[in-house]
Structures are given as C-alpha cells and as structure tokens.
Structure 1
Amino acid sequence: MLYLDFDGVLHPENVWRYPGSGPYVPSAPGHQVFEHAALLERCLVPYPGLRIVLSTNWMRVFRSVRKVARRLPPGLRERVVGATFHRRMDPGWVRSVPRGVQVWGDVCRRRPDAWLALDDDEAAWPAVCRSHLVCTDPVLGLSAPVVLTELHARLAAMHGAGEG
C-alpha cells in the first residue's frame, strides 16, 4: 500500500486553486501541477499489486476519491483504493490532526501487509510510522535524486516483504 500526498510530492507544495482555471503553482516558476505523476507511475510498474490510498489535502476540497483520483494518469488512477479522508469524516477534525496520524489511523483500519507513505511534511508523524515515510523535497517533490533513490530502495524492500 502506498499513501500518497500530492503537494510537495507530485508537484511543488505551494499549489493554489483559482476558480474557473483550476490548480496552479504560483511560487515555483517552471513547475506545473502533477509534473511528477508520470515519474511515480514508472516507479510503480514493477509492483502491479501495489495499491494507493490518497492522503492529500485535495480530499478536503473535492471530497470525492473519484474526483481527486481522476486528476492522476491512468496507471496511478487504477491503483487508487480510497483515501485517509472521506465524506463521513468531520473536515475540522481532519484539519486538526497531523497527516501522519491520519495515515496511521488508516493503516490500522486497512491492515496492509506492508505500506509506505510519500509526503513532504514529516512533522508530527507517530514514531511507529516514521520508518514507513519517504519524505520528499517541498519543491522538487519525488524528482529529487535522493528521494527517488530512497523510494526505489523502499519499494524493493517492501516487495521483498510480500507486498506486490
């Protein structure tokens, strides 16, 4: 299982949403929304059984897994099985709880054999989760060479632990 944040992972963290024109990256010239989605898609090709749970704040805005997932390329979209936030949850509670706690709660509910989280914010992750976190660069996201190297190694190790 891969818990996937968008901002700071698939594109720079500072994404704004302008009504009528969609999301954009105002503070990182030369960058665009979802610029690293194809890179993640390629990283996951050797692991066809790996599934994605969305752990992004985009869920609070769009409140639908389908609406958020359709922004991803098909190879990622078809892997999405849910999100750490859903309509029945109180958005105020979700805003008040650190991302790592949200992910841990979802891990406890789903009980995956193995899991990994991609996120640019490592603050307040529970100690039990820190070894499952690949922390990305807030601007370069997944494309930072050190992050990409770590992701490949962690995916391979996770696959060796029985997760495809």
Structure 2
Amino acid sequence: MILFLDFDGVLHPEGEGHLPVEAPFCFLPRLEALLREYADVQVVISSAWRERLSLEQLREIFSEGLRHRIIGTTPWPGRDPAGYVPARREREIVAWLEANGGVAQPWVALDDAEWQFDDHMDKLVACGSFIGVDDKAETALRAHFERAVWP
C-alpha cells in the first residue's frame, strides 16, 4: 500500500493565520502513530514541499523509525502558464505509479485539495485545510489500509 501524502492542510493547518510558528507539523504524530500500526504502508510525498526540499530533507521531517518508508516524491511538472490545472495532483500520482511499476499497487492519497482529484476520488481521504488529520481522516485511512491487507 502506498500513501501519497500532502503536507499543508494535512499535517498542519493551512491558510493565513492558521499555522502557529511553534507548531508546524502538529498533526504528524497522529499520522505516524497510525503508520506504525501498518508496517507495509510506504509513503510518497505529493506535497508542494517537494519543490523546495530534497527527498532526504523531506525524510528528516519524520521520526527516525519511519524515514525509510518515505520512498519518493511525485513528479513536479513545474508551473503551468495556464494557472489552474484540474486534477493535477491526481495526474502526478498516476505518473509516479506508472514510472515506478506501481499501477496495480493499492494506494490512497491524503490531501486537503479535493479539486486536485477526479477519476480516483475513491482513493482520496480528504482533510479539512484547517483541521488536518482528524478522527474522520484517520478512520478513512485505516479502512483503506485494512482493505489493502484483506482485499
């Protein structure tokens, strides 16, 4: 199972005035606790943070015992001159799956931008941008992880 992970609005609140300087990644401990329960889940970073940080720098955000499970980042196509591109995040995920032989691999995306998805809405666990990983998101992720273990 692959978890495609966004950061802003998922691991901490997104939006002006909603990210306390002292609490970046304030929801990460909750996600990490869940990931520890499912040792077969690997993580691919789909966040825009991949534009600015290397894979090694992204891994450093996570607890030491989980860093080896961060296996990559989705491709970054650069800025589109047209601006808005519908389902862009979903396309980046599919491109990563195709490039890495994972098309048949079960996957789920944890993201706060529902508009970034279209054909694979059933594989999206959507977070509220100001709420991040909450009870609802954790329950939905757990269901996806369980289906991957017991198809």
Superposed pair shares fold, TM > 0.5: yes
1:6 maps to 7
Q: Deviation per CA, 1:83-106, whole angstroms, max 9, x where unpaired?
A: 003xxx55225x865212111211
Superposed, 1:67-78 pairs within 5 Å as 67-78=57-68
1:125 maps to 117
What is the root-mean-square deviation of aligned Cα atoms in Å?
A: 2.2
SS, match of residue 25 in structure 2: coil
Name the CA distance, whole Å, in 2 between partners of 1:52 and 1:28: 24
Q: TM-score, normalised by structure 2?
A: 0.83
| Cα displacement (A) at 1:117 | 0.7
Q: Deviation per CA, 1:30-80, whole angstroms, max 9, x where unpaired?
A: 972111111111111222121111101001122x11112211222332211
Q: Return 5+ residue gaps in structure 1 as ranges.
A: 16-25
Name the CA distance, whole Å, in 2 between partners of 1:31 and 1:149: 27
Aligned residues: 144
Name the CA distance, whole Å, in 1 between partners of 2:147 and 2:77: 36
**Residue 128 of structure 2 corresponds to residue 146 of structure 1:** no
Equivalent AA in structure 2 for residue 157 of structure 1: R
Equivalent AA in structure 2 for residue 140 of structure 1: I
SS, match of residue 115 in structure 2: coil
Is the alpha carbon distance of 1:40 and 1:67 closer, same or farther for their aligned partners in structure 2, counting shifts above 3 Å? same
Out of 76, 83, 91, the position equivalent to 2:73 is 83
| 8 Å contact from structure 1 (residues 11, 34) kept in 2 | yes
Equivalent AA in structure 2 for residue 11 of structure 1: H
Give aligned-pair identity as a percent.
28
Q: Deviation per CA, 1:126-151, whole angstroms, max 9, x where unpaired?
A: 31x211111111111112x2222111
SS, match of residue 144 in structure 2: helix
Is the alpha carbon distance of 1:77 and 1:5 closer, same or farther for their aligned partners in structure 2, counting shifts above 3 Å? same
Is the alpha carbon distance of 1:57 and 1:158 closer, same or farther for their aligned partners in structure 2, counting shifts above 3 Å? same
Runs in 1 of length 4+ with deviation above 6 angstroms? none
Equivalent AA in structure 2 for residue 137 of structure 1: G
SS, match of residue 116 in structure 1: strand
Q: Name the structure, 1 or 2, with higher relative contact order (CA <8 Å, separation 6+).
A: 2
1:18 maps to none
**Residue 105 of structure 2 corresponds to residue 104 of structure 1:** no
Name the CA distance, whole Å, in 2 between partners of 1:12 and 1:75: 25
Q: Return 5+ residue gaps in structure 2 as ranges.
A: none
Out of 126, 139, 145, the position equivalent to 1:135 is 126
